[in-house]
Each structure stands twice: as structure tokens, then as C-alpha cells.
Chain A
Amino acid sequence: GAVVSQHPSWVICKSGTSVKIECRSLDFQATTMFWYRQFPKQSLMLMATSNEGSKATYEQGVEKDKFLINHASLTLSTLTVTSAHPEDSSFYICSASDYRGRTGYTFGSGTRLTVV
């Protein structure tokens, strides 16, 4: 089955620094990737949609200059949290799709970001 690898699984960083999260599709070409954020005891909130080779589309209220998304290849998308602050601490999850009649989207295992 389709596998999406997300790395790192957890990261602790100092306030003001930047953190990069990688999302890779291991056995399929992901034409589209989605990034979600999940706060404790809440559901997943869509942050942005990225299509390979084009700029990401951000959901309302998500700062595109703070959450930089790059989808330069069909197997890799990255989310960079720039100048992180404690309120950015969250669980970040990516999802990938080739969506040629497949049964569903595949999710990464998530990245727990803690900003101190």
C-alpha cells in the first residue's frame, strides 16, 4: 500500500528559530500534498494544499510567510515553521495523494513540535 514518511516525529526548538518538517511519498508520486495542524483534544485543521511545482494554497488565517511550504518534487514536500513561537507548538500532519482512482489519501505519522 501507499506509504507516506514524515520526519522528524518530534522536535523541540527554541523560540525564534525555524523548523523544517519533511513529508515523503515512498512508493507513489504525490501530485498533491496537504498539511494539517492539530492542537490537543482538537480535530485536524487544514493549513494548506500544495501541488507539485506550484505555490501552495493556504487556508484562511494561516500565515503563508510563517509556514513555508515547498513541493519541489513528486515525492517530497516540506513545511518550514519560521521564527517559531510557543503558540506554534502543535502536532503537524501531512497527507499525500496521487488520486488516480485510489481508495483514499495517505497520511504521515505526524510531527510533534514543541517551541520553548
Chain B
Amino acid sequence: DAKTTQPTSMDCAEGRAANLPCNHSTISGNEYVYWYRQIHSQGPQYIIHGLKNNETNEMASLIITEDRKSSTLILPHATLRDTAVYYCIVRGNSGNTPLVFGKGTRLSVIA
């Protein structure tokens, strides 16, 4: 699976949009971009995933560049409860291969 690069940490004011970038320049054509987050001392929570089109669900939006070498997770109105470590993971969508976690981005939402 392709490697991802994320900033170590970010701050965001409560109520503002949080934009979390991820670089995955070695992504291959059949690999998806997944985003998970982990709130302190809990298991990771699925947020969203996509292949090449932008995606939106009730939690977030995922913007993938046309060349698919990077993506941005957008939390439209961040709340204090969104403070967590956010992981961007690239993997193929066939078979039961595991998710491999990098170091992620620690997002702190500030009141």
C-alpha cells in the first residue's frame, strides 16, 4: 500500500472548518484513500473514503486532487469533540488486507 504523509499537528478554532491534508504521491490506480480518527483511549472511528471523486457524508468531506497524489479531509464546523488524531490511509479495496496506520495528524479544536 502507498505511504502517506500528514502534518504532525494542527489547531482549529471551534466552529470553523478544519482542513486536514494528506500526501500520497505513490498511490496506485486501484487504491482508495481512507480517513479514520482516534479520540484519546478509544478505537479508531471510520470517517470517509474515496477513490477519485470527492465524497461527502454526515461527518466530513473528502477532496481528492485530480492526479490523486493528495487529498484533504474537511470537517465543516469543528467542535471540541472533534479533537483527535486523524489518520489518512491508502489501501486497495480487494480482499481482507489490514489497514496500516501512519502517525496521523493530531487535531486540536480550540474554544
Chain A residues in contact with chain B, CB under 8 A? 4, 6, 31-32, 34, 36, 43-46, 49, 51, 91, 93, 95, 97, 99, 103-110, 112
- Chain A residues in 8 Å Cβ range of B49: 103-104
B27 → chain A, closest Cβ, in Å?
17
A98 → chain B, closest Cβ, in Å?
9
- Chain A residues in 8 Å Cβ range of B43: 4, 6, 93, 95, 107-110
- Chain A residues in 8 Å Cβ range of B100: 46
B36 → chain A, closest Cβ, in Å?
8
**Cβ contact within 8 Å between A93 and B96:** no
- C-alpha gap A81/B88 in the complex (Å): 30
**Cβ contact within 8 Å between A46 and B103:** no
A35 → chain B, closest Cβ, in Å?
10
- Please count how many residues in chain B sit with their CB below 8 Å of the partner chain's CB atoms: 20
**Cβ contact within 8 Å between B46 and A103:** yes
**Cβ contact within 8 Å between A93 and B44:** yes
Q: Helix, strand, loop or mixed for chain A's interface? A: strand
**Cβ contact within 8 Å between A95 and B42:** no
**Cβ contact within 8 Å between B101 and A43:** yes
- Chain A residues in 8 Å Cβ range of B44: 44, 93, 95, 107
Q: Which of B86-108 contact A (CB under 8 A)?
A: 87, 95-96, 98-104
Name B96's closest neighbour in chain A (CB-CB).
Answer: A32
- Most chain A CB within 10 A, of B36, B41, B96, B98, is at B98
**Cβ contact within 8 Å between A105 and B42:** no
**Cβ contact within 8 Å between B98 and A110:** no
**Cβ contact within 8 Å between B46 and A105:** yes
